[in-house]
Amino acid sequence: MEPILEVKDLSYIYSAGTPFEHKALDQISFRIHRGEFIGVIGHTGSGKSTLMQQLNGLLKPTAGTVLLDGRDIWSDKQLTRQARFRVGLVFQYPEYQLFEETVYKDIAFGPRNMGLDEGEVDRRVREAAGFVGLTEEQLQVSPFDLSGGQKRRVAIAGVIAMEPEVLILDEPTAGLDPLGRSEILGNINAYRRAKNATIMMVSHSMEDVARLTDRLLVLNGANLVMDAPPEQVFTRAEELVDMGLSIPQVTQVFLHLKKMGLDVDKVYTIDQAAEQMMRFKGGNAHA
Amino acid sequence: MLKDITLGQYFPGNSVIHRLDPRTKLIMVVVYIVALFMAQSWVGYGLMFLFLAWVVCISTIPPKAILRGLKPLVMILIFTAVLNLFFTREGTVLVDVWIITITTGGINRALMMMARILMLICGTFLLTYTTSPIALTDGLESLLGPLKALKVPVHELTMMMCIALRFIPTLIEETDKIMSAQKARGADFENGSLIQRAKALIPILVPLFISAFRRADELATAMECRCYQGGEGRTKMKLLRYRRPDFAAFGCGAALVCAVAVLRCFGL
CB contact under 8 A, A110 and B185: yes
The percentage of residues in chain A with a pLDDT greater than 90, rounded to a whole number, is 51
Residue A224 C-alpha, separation from nearest chain B C-alpha, in angstroms: 24
- Is the domain of B66 the same as that of B197? no
The larger pLDDT score, comparing residue A205 to residue B105, is at A205
- Is the domain of B16 the same as that of B101? yes
CB contact under 8 A, A99 and B206: yes
- Is the domain of B161 the same as that of B82? no
Q: Tell me the pLDDT of chain A averaged across its residues.
A: 89
Q: Could you tell me if residue B145 is inside a domain?
A: no
- Is the domain of B81 the same as that of B169? no
Which one of A15, A84, A114 has the shortest CB-CB distance to B184? A84
Rounded average pLDDT over A65-93: 90
Per-residue pLDDT reduced to its tens digit, A97-151: 899 999 999 999 999 999 899 999 999 999 999 999 899 899 999 999 998 889 9
Residues of A in contact with B182 (CB under 8 A): 97, 109
Q: Which residues contact A236 (CB under 8 A, 6 or more apart)?
A: A226
Q: Which long-range contacts (CB under 8 A, 24 or more apart) does B248-251 make?
A: B249/B20, B249/B24, B249/B28, B250/B24, B250/B27, B250/B28
- Is the domain of B21 the same as that of B102? yes
Q: In the prediction, which pLDDT does A46 show?
A: 87
CB contact under 8 A, B184 and A81: no
Residue B196 C-alpha, separation from nearest chain A C-alpha, in angstroms: 12
Which of A85, A92, A99 should one mutate to test binding to chain B, selecting the residue with the greatest count of B CBs within 10 A?
A99
Which one of B178, B186, B188 has the shortest CB-CB distance to A110? B186
Residues of B in contact with A110 (CB under 8 A): 185-186
Residue B202 C-alpha, separation from nearest chain A C-alpha, in angstroms: 8
CB contact under 8 A, A96 and B186: no
- Is the domain of B62 the same as that of B176? no
Q: Which long-range contacts (CB under 8 A, 24 or more apart) does A179-188 make?
A: A180/A148, A180/A149, A180/A152, A181/A205, A181/A208, A183/A133, A183/A149, A183/A153, A184/A132, A184/A149, A184/A152, A184/A153, A184/A156, A185/A212, A187/A131, A187/A132, A187/A133, A187/A153, A187/A156, A188/A156
Count of structural domains within chain B: 2
- Is the domain of B206 the same as that of B250? no
Q: Could you tell me if residue B162 is inside a domain?
A: yes
At CB < 8 Å, which residues of chain B contact A? Answer: 3, 177-178, 180-188, 202-203, 206-207, 210-211
ipTM value for the complex: 0.86
- Is the domain of B34 the same as that of B85? yes
Residue A58 C-alpha, separation from nearest chain B C-alpha, in angstroms: 7
Residue A244 C-alpha, separation from nearest chain B C-alpha, in angstroms: 26
Q: Tell me the residue type at A79.
A: L
Q: Could you tell me if residue B231 is inside a domain?
A: no
Residue B4: pLDDT band by 50, 70, 90 thresholds?
very low
Q: Does any CB of chain B come closer than 8 Å to the CB of residue A81?
A: yes
Which one of B186, B203, B207 has the shortest CB-CB distance to A84? B186
- Is the domain of B94 the same as that of B211? no
The structural domains of chain A, ordered by start, are 5-247 (3.40.50.300), 248-287 (no CATH)
Q: In the prediction, which pLDDT does A250 show?
A: 86
Per-residue pLDDT reduced to its tens digit, B228-245: 887 777 777 778 888 888
Q: Could you tell me if residue B149 is inside a domain?
A: no
A222: left (phi over 0), alpha (psi -120 to 50) or beta: left
The larger pLDDT score, comparing residue A15 to residue A77, is at A77
Q: Could you tell me if residue B51 is inside a domain?
A: yes
pTM listed for this prediction? 0.75
Q: Does any CB of chain B come closer than 8 Å to the CB of residue A143?
A: no
Residue A287: pLDDT band by 50, 70, 90 thresholds?
very low
- Is the domain of B13 the same as that of B125? yes
Q: Could you tell me if residue B234 is inside a domain?
A: no
Q: In the prediction, which pLDDT does A109 show?
A: 93
Residue A158 C-alpha, separation from nearest chain B C-alpha, in angstroms: 8
- Is the domain of B42 the same as that of B120? yes
Q: Could you tell me if residue B104 is inside a domain?
A: yes
Are the C-beta atoms of B11 and B131 separated by less than 8 Å?
no
Domain holding B94, by residue range, is 2-131+241-265
Q: In the prediction, which pLDDT does A286 show?
A: 45
Residues of A in contact with B178 (CB under 8 A): 96-97
Which of B2, B176, B185 should one mutate to test binding to chain A, selecting the residue with the greatest count of A CBs within 10 A?
B185
Q: Does any CB of chain B come closer than 8 Å to the CB of residue A142?
A: no
Q: In the prediction, which pLDDT does A19 show?
A: 66
The larger pLDDT score, comparing residue B55 to residue A283, is at B55
- Is the domain of B9 the same as that of B89? yes
Q: Could you tell me if residue B147 is inside a domain?
A: no
Q: Which residue of A has its CA nearest to B185?
A: A110
Rounded average pLDDT over A230-248: 87
